[in-house]
Amino acid sequence: MDTPTVAKPNEAQEELTDGFHLIIDALKLNGIKTIYGVPGIPITDFGRMAQAAGIRVIAFRHEQNAGNAAAIAGFLTKQPGICLTVSAPGFLNGLTALANATTNCFPMILISGSSEREIVDLQQGDYEEMDQLAIAKPLCKAAFRVLHAADIGIGIARAIRAAVSGRPGGVYLDLPAKLFGQVMNAEAGAKSLVKVVDPAPAQIPAPSAVKRALEVLKSAKKPLIILGKGAAYAQADDAIKTLVEKSGIPFLPMSMAKGLLPDTHPQCAGAARSTVLQQSDVVMLIGARLNWLLSHGKGKTWGGAPKRFIQIDIDPREMDSNVEIAAPLVGDIGSCVAALLDGMASGWAPPPADWTGAVKAKKDENIAKMAPRLMNNNVPMDFHGALGALRTVIKERPDAMLVNEGANTLDLARGTIDMYKPRKRIDVGTWGVMGIGMGYAVAAAIETGKPVLAVEGDSAFGFSGMEVETICRYKLPVCIVIFNNNGIYRGTDVNNVGSDPAWTTFVPGARYDKIMEAFGGVGLQATSPDELKRAVDAAIESGKPTLINAVIDPAAGSESGRIGNLNPQSALKKK
């Protein structure tokens, strides 16, 4: 029998490297510290080597959750979050997160191993065969494939720059299995690596655009500032706070911009949302898009009075997307806000007192109306009673990260739980997508080192629930509270035909806390707001993975939470 011999041509003289190491070196050179992923062919050894080289490799139970973790890591840090998957099915599992990242403008790179190009392109049925690059392209900002080890440096540099420059988004990087094992001269390999210089260059707004924006703002009798998650992403917190305070204009934070200035700030108009949207005459959007979440800038929500919009956005094509923008201000948010502040330096008159007075009166009225509902200690709990307890938790711990998904559980928590610091609230974002919960919770814990409170509808939790094992495995300080109302929106629907349950309902009285116990975490049940508060306090104090099954009245919720109006209605039914 032949004994296989290993050819050692110039090995004595020549030091070699390979694809595995070049990828790791390229990532490290560009400051990547963490990879979120799921192992398998052809990336298992790569993950081991990355871990050995000091990169933190966080293994999930499903790629969608790893992808969501990478995406939110990108949002929190302004560095692209990396998700690593196997080919075809693993890649597809990660793709939802990649598309969601792109929609939400989060910088993320999905790196997937892929099968042999020669076989894939001839469609000869390779293991996990799929033309991944072509499939990823329409769902992300950019997609690249690296075929030669010598191109790894440039490939990773392009991916990083594409993810974070301009409007951030998702990038796909296709790495065929053969690439990992390709060998090349180590010195040439080192030279081929690229450190991306100034990956997200400042984009300075034109002085004429700044002047126009200030003129429109000055002309306002009833101005309003809307802060979007782009403003939170920008990490220009001090400049934005100064702009809002110097202008004296009421501001409305979008969901993930909550806390950029505290929700308790005297200028916050969150509790008078309908009033300010309807009655304002000039609206300055900072990193907020006029999409469905703002009723496209028109219609009933915005009232009858004509509006003029000033819009700050890094993407020129965002302007006039839905309605005319009177003063487009294109540039990065930090530079735009700084330029506006410069322009205001020579003196600025606060908005008319009858406007700010009217906003304050409406807001005080709404807050007073809500207060007793949030203090109820009813059993079974309703959403308001339970959220009143969690609101106090965050008030007492403004550094904690809040993850939130569901329908009623989302909409009511958003309006109830005040945020005090920037980038502490992460949720379903532009799409209202279920399934971000545990991925976001893991990344929030890892990237910030702070305690995480995940407030989850029972349906919402189910989309990523298996990651409680991941949370236990990495011993993350995550407290999950499940608002268990036995179903989607409510647990009271009945199917009158046949014996199947109504399709919006779940097993009644389920004990989600037991799932956590299965992996060594703490599982608790809470049936009153007081009990819930005590349980969450204990969880956060201990830093131990905890899941609290919060029993909510199954009849308390409403269809689709606050967006029931989006459900299509038949013209026939209306007759």
Ligand X SMILES: Cc1ncc(C[n+]2csc(CCOP(=O)(O)OP(=O)(O)O)c2C)c(N)n1
Instruction: Tell the smallest beta-carbon distance from residue 488 to ligand X (Å).
Output: 4
User: Which residue's CB comes closest to ligand X?
Assistant: 457
Whole-angstrom distance, CA of residue 271 vs CA of residue 114: 50
283 neighbors 312 (Cβ within 8 angstroms): no
Instruction: Tell the smallest beta-carbon distance from residue 482 to ligand X (Å).
Output: 9
Whole-angstrom distance, CA of residue 411 vs CA of residue 415: 7
Q: Which is nearer to Mg ion, 418 or 427 (CB)?
A: 427
- CA nearest neighbour of 392 among 366, 371, 423: 371
458 binding Mg ion? (CB under 5 A)? yes
Instruction: Tell the smallest beta-carbon distance from residue 187 to ligand X (Å).
Output: 48
DSSP class of residue 505 equals B
Q: Which is nearer to ligand X, 355 or 440 (CB)?
A: 440
Structure tokens at 244: 């809002």
Q: Which is nearer to Mg ion, 457 or 529 (CB)?
A: 457
Instruction: Tell the smallest beta-carbon distance from residue 84 to ligand X (Å).
Output: 22
Question: Which of the residues 371 through 410 are near Mg ion (CB under 5 A)?
Answer: none
Cβ within 8 Å of residue 137, ≥6 positions away? 143, 172
- CA nearest neighbour of 429 among 64, 108, 99: 99
Q: Contacting Mg ion (CB under 5 A), which of 17, 30, 87, 485?
A: 485
Question: Which of the residues 416 through 445 are near ligand X (CB under 6 A)?
Answer: 432-435
CA distances 247 to 212, 323, 362, 475, Å, are: 16, 25, 20, 45
456 binding Mg ion? (CB under 5 A)? no
Cβ within 8 Å of residue 294, ≥6 positions away? 226, 254, 277, 288, 301
Instruction: Tell the smallest beta-carbon distance from residue 209 to ligand X (Å).
Output: 37
Q: Contacting ligand X (CB under 6 A), which of 106, 440, 483, 512?
A: 483
Residues in contact with Mg ion, total (CB under 5 A)?
3
Q: Which is nearer to Mg ion, 404 or 485 (CB)?
A: 485
Q: Which is nearer to ligand X, 65 or 311 (CB)?
A: 65
Instruction: Tell the smallest beta-carbon distance from residue 529 to ligand X (Å).
Output: 16
CA distances 81 to 47, 59, 115, 122, 347, Å, are: 16, 14, 24, 33, 42
Q: Contacting ligand X (CB under 6 A), which of 194, 336, 407, 443?
A: 407
- With left for phi above 0 and alpha for psi between -120 and 50, is residue 137 left, alpha or beta? alpha
- CA nearest neighbour of 69 among 26, 111, 34, 29: 34
457 binding ligand X? (CB under 6 A)? yes
Whole-angstrom distance, CA of residue 287 vs CA of residue 277: 17
Select from 307-315, 348-356, 456-464, 517-525 the region that touches Mg ion (CB under 5 A). 456-464
132 neighbors 121 (Cβ within 8 angstroms): no
255 binding Mg ion? (CB under 5 A)? no
Instruction: Tell the smallest beta-carbon distance from residue 457 to Mg ion (Å).
Output: 4
- Cβ-count burial 536-559 (b if 16+ within 10 Å, e if not): bbebbeeebbbbbbbbbbbebbee
Whole-angstrom distance, CA of residue 233 vs CA of residue 260: 10
Q: Which is nearer to Mg ion, 334 or 457 (CB)?
A: 457
Select from 40-48, 315-323, 405-413, 529-537 the region that touches ligand X (CB under 6 A). 405-413
Residues in contact with ligand X, total (CB under 6 A)?
18
Q: Helical H runs in 375-407?
A: 383-396
Instruction: Tell the smallest beta-carbon distance from residue 381 to ligand X (Å).
Output: 12
Q: Which is nearer to ligand X, 2 or 500 (CB)?
A: 500
Q: Which is nearer to ligand X, 17 or 486 (CB)?
A: 486
Q: Contacting Mg ion (CB under 5 A), which of 457, 521, 545, 554?
A: 457
Main-chain dihedrals φ then ψ at residue 50, nearest 5 degrees: -65, -45
Q: Contacting ligand X (CB under 6 A), which of 189, 406, 437, 451?
A: 406
408 binding ligand X? (CB under 6 A)? yes
Q: How many CB atoms lie within 10 A of CB 297?
A: 21
Sites of contact with Mg ion (CB under 5 A): 457-458, 485
Q: Which residues bind ligand X (CB under 6 A)?
A: 406-409, 432-435, 457-460, 483, 485, 488-489, 557, 561
